[in-house]
Structure 1
Amino acid sequence: MQKSFPFQPRMALICVPLFIIGCASEPVPTPKPEPIISGETMLRESQGIASLGDRWKSGKQLVDRGTAMVSEGQAKINEGNRMIEEGNKIIRESEDNYKNIKK
Protein backbone atom coordinates (compact mmCIF):
# COMPACT_ATOMS: atom_id res chain seq x y z
CA MET A 1 0.00 0.00 0.00
CA GLN A 2 2.81 2.39 0.71
CA LYS A 3 4.07 2.11 -2.85
CA SER A 4 0.84 3.41 -4.34
CA PHE A 5 0.44 6.28 -1.85
CA PRO A 6 3.15 8.59 -3.33
CA PHE A 7 1.68 8.02 -6.77
CA GLN A 8 -1.78 9.35 -5.89
CA PRO A 9 -0.74 12.86 -4.81
CA ARG A 10 1.29 13.26 -8.03
CA MET A 11 -1.69 12.21 -10.11
CA ALA A 12 -3.89 14.65 -8.24
CA LEU A 13 -1.39 17.43 -8.85
CA ILE A 14 -1.48 16.68 -12.57
CA CYS A 15 -5.20 15.93 -13.00
CA VAL A 16 -6.68 18.80 -10.98
CA PRO A 17 -5.09 21.61 -13.07
CA LEU A 18 -5.99 19.79 -16.29
CA PHE A 19 -9.57 19.42 -15.09
CA ILE A 20 -9.78 23.12 -14.18
CA ILE A 21 -8.30 24.17 -17.54
CA GLY A 22 -10.73 21.87 -19.36
CA CYS A 23 -13.72 23.34 -17.53
CA ALA A 24 -12.55 26.92 -18.06
CA SER A 25 -12.16 26.63 -21.84
CA GLU A 26 -14.96 27.61 -24.20
CA PRO A 27 -17.18 24.81 -25.44
CA VAL A 28 -16.70 23.65 -29.01
CA PRO A 29 -19.43 25.23 -31.13
CA THR A 30 -21.75 22.81 -32.84
CA PRO A 31 -21.88 23.23 -36.62
CA LYS A 32 -25.02 24.93 -37.89
CA PRO A 33 -27.11 22.81 -40.22
CA GLU A 34 -27.22 23.85 -43.86
CA PRO A 35 -30.37 25.80 -44.68
CA ILE A 36 -32.86 24.00 -46.86
CA ILE A 37 -32.82 25.39 -50.42
CA SER A 38 -36.18 25.95 -52.04
CA GLY A 39 -37.00 24.81 -55.56
CA GLU A 40 -37.24 28.42 -56.75
CA THR A 41 -33.77 29.17 -55.43
CA MET A 42 -32.33 26.09 -57.14
CA LEU A 43 -34.04 27.05 -60.42
CA ARG A 44 -32.81 30.66 -60.23
CA GLU A 45 -29.24 29.54 -59.45
CA SER A 46 -29.22 26.95 -62.23
CA GLN A 47 -30.43 29.55 -64.74
CA GLY A 48 -27.62 31.85 -63.62
CA ILE A 49 -25.10 29.06 -64.11
CA ALA A 50 -26.56 28.27 -67.55
CA SER A 51 -26.24 31.97 -68.44
CA LEU A 52 -22.58 31.89 -67.42
CA GLY A 53 -22.07 28.81 -69.59
CA ASP A 54 -23.65 30.54 -72.60
CA ARG A 55 -21.49 33.62 -72.03
CA TRP A 56 -18.38 31.43 -71.81
CA LYS A 57 -19.31 29.72 -75.09
CA SER A 58 -19.71 33.05 -76.88
CA GLY A 59 -16.35 34.21 -75.50
CA LYS A 60 -14.70 31.00 -76.68
CA GLN A 61 -16.19 31.47 -80.16
CA LEU A 62 -14.79 35.02 -80.31
CA VAL A 63 -11.35 33.76 -79.30
CA ASP A 64 -11.46 31.02 -81.93
CA ARG A 65 -12.60 33.42 -84.67
CA GLY A 66 -9.98 35.99 -83.66
CA THR A 67 -7.24 33.37 -83.64
CA ALA A 68 -8.28 32.22 -87.13
CA MET A 69 -8.27 35.82 -88.38
CA VAL A 70 -4.82 36.45 -86.91
CA SER A 71 -3.53 33.29 -88.59
CA GLU A 72 -5.04 34.33 -91.92
CA GLY A 73 -3.67 37.85 -91.49
CA GLN A 74 -0.20 36.54 -90.69
CA ALA A 75 -0.33 34.32 -93.78
CA LYS A 76 -1.28 37.35 -95.89
CA ILE A 77 1.52 39.42 -94.31
CA ASN A 78 4.02 36.66 -95.06
CA GLU A 79 2.77 36.41 -98.66
CA GLY A 80 2.92 40.21 -99.02
CA ASN A 81 6.51 40.27 -97.71
CA ARG A 82 7.46 37.51 -100.15
CA MET A 83 5.91 39.48 -103.03
CA ILE A 84 7.78 42.64 -101.98
CA GLU A 85 11.09 40.76 -101.85
CA GLU A 86 10.46 39.20 -105.25
CA GLY A 87 9.42 42.59 -106.69
CA ASN A 88 12.56 44.27 -105.29
CA LYS A 89 14.69 41.49 -106.76
CA ILE A 90 13.08 41.99 -110.19
CA ILE A 91 13.59 45.78 -109.93
CA ARG A 92 17.29 45.36 -109.05
CA GLU A 93 17.82 42.88 -111.88
CA SER A 94 16.08 45.20 -114.33
CA GLU A 95 18.17 48.18 -113.21
CA ASP A 96 21.37 46.11 -113.48
CA ASN A 97 20.41 44.94 -116.97
CA TYR A 98 19.63 48.54 -117.98
CA LYS A 99 23.03 49.68 -116.67
CA ASN A 100 24.72 46.87 -118.60
CA ILE A 101 22.93 47.87 -121.80
CA LYS A 102 23.91 51.53 -121.39
CA LYS A 103 27.61 50.66 -121.09
Structure 2
Amino acid sequence: MAIEVNGKTIETTENGYLVDYNDWNEDVAKLIAEQEGIELTEQHWDVIHYLRDEHINNGGNEPNERTILKAMAKKWGTKPTSKDMYQLFPLMPSKQGRKIAGLSQSTRKGGY
Protein backbone atom coordinates (compact mmCIF):
# COMPACT_ATOMS: atom_id res chain seq x y z
CA MET A 1 0.00 0.00 0.00
CA ALA A 2 0.99 3.63 -0.33
CA ILE A 3 -0.19 7.15 0.29
CA GLU A 4 0.37 10.24 -1.83
CA VAL A 5 1.52 13.41 -0.07
CA ASN A 6 2.63 16.56 -1.90
CA GLY A 7 3.30 14.58 -5.07
CA LYS A 8 5.41 11.96 -3.28
CA THR A 9 4.39 8.32 -2.94
CA ILE A 10 5.06 6.95 0.54
CA GLU A 11 4.98 3.22 1.20
CA THR A 12 2.77 1.96 4.03
CA THR A 13 2.01 -1.42 5.52
CA GLU A 14 -1.34 -3.10 4.96
CA ASN A 15 -2.46 -1.49 8.26
CA GLY A 16 -1.49 2.00 7.13
CA TYR A 17 1.75 2.45 9.11
CA LEU A 18 4.72 3.99 7.30
CA VAL A 19 7.34 1.51 6.15
CA ASP A 20 10.11 4.07 6.80
CA TYR A 21 9.62 6.64 9.57
CA ASN A 22 12.05 8.93 7.72
CA ASP A 23 9.30 9.53 5.12
CA TRP A 24 7.25 11.30 7.81
CA ASN A 25 6.55 15.02 7.99
CA GLU A 26 3.66 17.06 9.34
CA ASP A 27 1.78 16.87 6.03
CA VAL A 28 1.98 13.07 6.20
CA ALA A 29 0.68 13.20 9.78
CA LYS A 30 -2.22 15.42 8.73
CA LEU A 31 -3.21 13.00 5.96
CA ILE A 32 -3.02 9.93 8.22
CA ALA A 33 -4.97 11.76 10.94
CA GLU A 34 -7.62 12.73 8.39
CA GLN A 35 -7.89 9.08 7.31
CA GLU A 36 -8.30 8.18 11.00
CA GLY A 37 -11.03 10.81 11.44
CA ILE A 38 -8.90 13.02 13.70
CA GLU A 39 -8.46 16.78 13.44
CA LEU A 40 -5.05 17.51 14.94
CA THR A 41 -4.76 19.99 17.80
CA GLU A 42 -1.72 21.25 19.71
CA GLN A 43 -2.21 18.42 22.22
CA HIS A 44 -2.18 15.84 19.43
CA TRP A 45 1.09 17.31 18.15
CA ASP A 46 2.59 17.13 21.66
CA VAL A 47 1.84 13.41 21.85
CA ILE A 48 2.98 12.78 18.27
CA HIS A 49 6.31 14.56 18.78
CA TYR A 50 6.82 12.80 22.12
CA LEU A 51 6.23 9.37 20.53
CA ARG A 52 8.63 10.16 17.68
CA ASP A 53 11.30 11.41 20.07
CA GLU A 54 11.01 8.32 22.26
CA HIS A 55 11.21 5.99 19.27
CA ILE A 56 13.99 7.72 17.37
CA ASN A 57 16.16 8.92 20.27
CA ASN A 58 15.51 6.19 22.81
CA GLY A 59 16.26 2.92 21.04
CA GLY A 60 12.84 2.32 19.49
CA ASN A 61 11.01 2.86 22.79
CA GLU A 62 7.24 2.31 22.59
CA PRO A 63 5.73 4.17 25.57
CA ASN A 64 2.58 2.65 27.04
CA GLU A 65 -0.52 4.63 27.98
CA ARG A 66 0.60 5.37 31.54
CA THR A 67 4.00 6.64 30.38
CA ILE A 68 2.36 8.90 27.79
CA LEU A 69 0.03 10.29 30.47
CA LYS A 70 2.97 11.08 32.76
CA ALA A 71 4.93 12.76 29.97
CA MET A 72 1.96 14.88 28.89
CA ALA A 73 1.24 15.85 32.51
CA LYS A 74 4.76 17.31 32.69
CA LYS A 75 4.41 19.01 29.30
CA TRP A 76 0.94 20.46 29.86
CA GLY A 77 1.22 21.22 33.58
CA THR A 78 -2.06 19.38 34.17
CA LYS A 79 -3.00 15.81 35.00
CA PRO A 80 -4.65 14.31 31.91
CA THR A 81 -6.69 11.15 32.35
CA SER A 82 -6.91 8.07 30.17
CA LYS A 83 -10.29 9.40 29.02
CA ASP A 84 -8.59 12.63 27.88
CA MET A 85 -6.04 10.66 25.87
CA TYR A 86 -8.67 8.44 24.30
CA GLN A 87 -10.59 11.56 23.26
CA LEU A 88 -7.47 12.58 21.35
CA PHE A 89 -6.74 9.10 19.97
CA PRO A 90 -9.90 6.94 20.22
CA LEU A 91 -8.20 3.77 18.96
CA MET A 92 -5.52 3.84 21.69
CA PRO A 93 -3.02 6.66 22.12
CA SER A 94 0.05 4.45 22.03
CA LYS A 95 -1.02 2.73 18.82
CA GLN A 96 -3.05 5.28 16.86
CA GLY A 97 -0.62 7.98 17.98
CA ARG A 98 2.29 5.95 16.62
CA LYS A 99 0.52 5.55 13.31
CA ILE A 100 -0.02 9.30 12.92
CA ALA A 101 3.57 9.87 14.11
CA GLY A 102 4.80 7.77 11.17
CA LEU A 103 6.22 5.02 13.35
CA SER A 104 5.96 1.26 12.94
CA GLN A 105 3.05 -0.65 14.36
CA SER A 106 3.52 -1.34 18.07
CA THR A 107 4.92 -4.70 19.02
CA ARG A 108 3.89 -4.24 22.67
CA LYS A 109 1.09 -6.38 24.05
CA GLY A 110 -1.75 -5.01 26.12
CA GLY A 111 -2.70 -1.45 27.09
CA TYR A 112 -1.12 -0.27 30.32
Name the TM-score, length of structure 2 as normaliser.
0.17
Name the TM-score, length of structure 1 as normaliser.
0.18
User: Which is helix-richer, 1 or 2?
Assistant: 1
Which one has more relative contact order, counting CA pairs under 8 Å at least 6 apart? 2
Question: Which structure's CA Rg is the greater one?
Answer: 1
User: Which is strand-richer, 1 or 2?
Assistant: 2
